[in-house]
Structure 1
Amino acid sequence: MPKHQRSLNQNEKNKVRAARADFFKIHKRKKSTTKDQHLENDSTTTNKSLDTMASSKCFKLPGLTSKKPSSTASKTPLIIRFYDTDVQARDAHGRTQEEILSWPDCELERCHNYIQMLFPVPEGSAFNWEAPIIDREVMDAFRTRGELRSRLRLSFERMLHFYGFKIAAPSEEISDTKAFEVEAKSDAVQENRVEDAAKAEDTSAKSRSRNSAEEEASNAQDPMEKNNEENTAGECSSVPSSPPIYCLIRAPNWRQSFQTWAVRFDHNHLRITRILRCLRILGLQSECDAFFEALKLVYNDPSFNISERTMSYWTRAVTRPLYIAPDDDRIEWLKEWEDEQEKLKLGKGQGQDR
């Protein structure tokens, strides 16, 4: 009979039992039996042979390995190692950040257990119990390490493309039409406005007398220019007087991308809430604000019909104190952190007054 197929003798069985007991830290043994005395005598040789037994074809104990894991890596939260350029750890499903970001848009839409890894929050997820959760250590790491925030920004920018947005380049003029793209509204809405303006002007012109018409014509404003000014004012009603540092505009693929999520109810609305909250907690406040401004423009666009409930959750994610989640969960350690920040501000203010 081949060696690897033979049965274990009693001595070998005793070694396996001793090794298993040592591995699981089970040391409850009876006192006065020949069998237990034999186990005690073999315990010294058992510890020396664990690595050999783990690699043997005859002995495969679960969890045994000859390579000791790094204590430093095991203590560092997974989300930090996932975003650390030098580590690039894999998530619970064996995927790196680079692999996820390389997915096509259809895969990002179809898969539901990656968004919690890319954008963790302090609250748990009902859709992915294996997702990491932000704690104080994670937040402090991202807020103090620029390379972690840079990697998080890559995830954000990939999702921006998925949702049909892009970052306005510094060389682009942040004007009414550049920053918020008058053409973003549907062609049908735009053409109707032009036609309505033209009809109104035509009716007004017929009611004038010939003499007054000649006088007014010299001072009349071109209807198309007037219509463009009205459109521009409507688009930029929420534009700040000075352009934001991080400005988003609609990408060339926005029409197709908006069909996925710019509807009354959609699972992407929950994803967007998570993204906004994650960016804000982990130190990407400018990105969070710019994304929220772009979302508000879509919400206010009559071409789309996003629910008020959805907009209320997006607003909560951006405007509430950090320790209060959009669904009203309270995170105590975030409350303590915000209290610390408030005390620091008060201390600085008192120092400047002196």
Structure 2
Amino acid sequence: MGEGDGCMSVVIEFLAGRGADSEGRMIGEIQGRPEIWLESRHDFIQWLFPLPEPSGANPDAPLLTRADAAAIAGDGALKAALLASVDAMARLYGLHRAGALFARGPAFPGPFRDWLGPIDHNHLRLTRILRCLSLCGLVETADGLRRLLDEIAAAEALGAWGLSLKYWRDAGAWPAHWTAPGG
């Protein structure tokens, strides 16, 4: 299932709902899981939001390739699958998305307030979400989430968020080993 051999990649098959993750779960199953499951598990986020860099938390997760990112950016159904994953994770944080705009939802900050504290695994998840969205052609959505996170950092953060804010600002950087868009 390599690039250019006519086969769909594992990333595309998963996002399209035609393939399972390394634990046999389909994307819709993960997106529908309750918040306690989303908070306590660390082996799914890499599938919902693949990146070109390997994950220390889930070495079985596939890597996003330049071809995958281009395919997602050009396919409305694949972008919709990514956005459904964004909505599932936004639910965990008590956030609401309308198009590319994000706001605090009625359940803000969600059932687990820990993410408002200093950097934790949820800050890493948010970095992953921002980076995946940016690389896969959903830059406006990533920017909308980043703007809300900046607002939350100024108003509700319960600890030092400086490092997280830096990572979130840099999340859209193009990988050095990829050819830049239009390049």
TM-score of the two chains, using structure 2 as the length reference = 0.90
Q: Does the aligned pair in 1 maintain the 2:73–2:136 contact within 8 Å?
A: yes
Unaligned runs of 5+ in 1: 1-72, 169-244, 324-330, 341-354
Q: Deviations over 1:167-209 (max 9, x none)?
A: 24xxxxxxxxxxxxxxxxxxxxxxxxxxxxxxxxxxxxxxxxx
State how far apart, in whole Å, the 1-side matches of 2:156 and 2:31 are.
Answer: 32
Q: Does the aligned pair in 1 maintain the 2:95–2:109 contact within 8 Å?
A: no
Aligned to 2:136: 282
Q: Deviations over 1:230-289 (max 9, x none)?
A: xxxxxxxxxxxxxxx622111111044461301012111111101100000011111101
Closer, same or farther: CA 258–106 of 1 in aligned 2, 3 Å: closer
Closer, same or farther: CA 144–164 of 1 in aligned 2, 3 Å: same
Does 2:174 align with 1:322? yes
State how far apart, in whole Å, the 1-side matches of 2:64 and 2:53 are.
Answer: 8
State how far apart, in whole Å, the 2-side matches of 1:166 and 1:302 are.
Answer: 17
TM-score of the two chains, using structure 1 as the length reference = 0.48
More helix by share: 1
Alignment counterpart, residue 93 of structure 2, candidates 160, 163, 183: 163
Aligned to 1:129: 59
Q: Deviations over 1:59-90 (max 9, x none)?
A: xxxxxxxxxxxxxx9932111011115xx211
Aligned-pair CA distance for 1:143: 1.5
Q: Which has the higher contact order (CA 8 A, sep 6+)?
A: 2
Paired residue type of 1:314: W
How many pairs does the alignment contain? 179
Alignment counterpart, residue 177 of structure 2, candidates 312, 332, 338: 332
Q: Deviations over 1:69-119 (max 9, x none)?
A: xxxx9932111011115xx21111100001111111000011000000000
Tell me which structure has the larger Cα radius of gyration.
Answer: 1
State how far apart, in whole Å, the 2-side matches of 1:130 and 1:278 are.
Answer: 18
Aligned to 1:309: 163
Closer, same or farther: CA 113–313 of 1 in aligned 2, 3 Å: same
State how far apart, in whole Å, the 2-side matches of 1:250 and 1:302 are.
Answer: 11
Query: Which portions of structure 1, spanning 4 or more consecutive aligned residues, are displaced by more than 6 angstroms?
Result: none
Q: Does the aligned pair in 2 maintain the 1:262–1:306 contact within 8 Å?
A: no
Unaligned runs of 5+ in 2: none
Aligned to 1:92: 22
RMSD: 1.9
State how far apart, in whole Å, the 2-side matches of 1:129 and 1:144 are.
Answer: 27
Aligned to 1:286, what secondary structure does the other structure show? helix
Aligned to 1:64: none
Closer, same or farther: CA 304–89 of 1 in aligned 2, 3 Å: same
State how far apart, in whole Å, the 1-side matches of 2:31 and 2:96 are.
Answer: 16
Closer, same or farther: CA 142–303 of 1 in aligned 2, 3 Å: closer
Aligned-pair CA distance for 1:316: 1.2
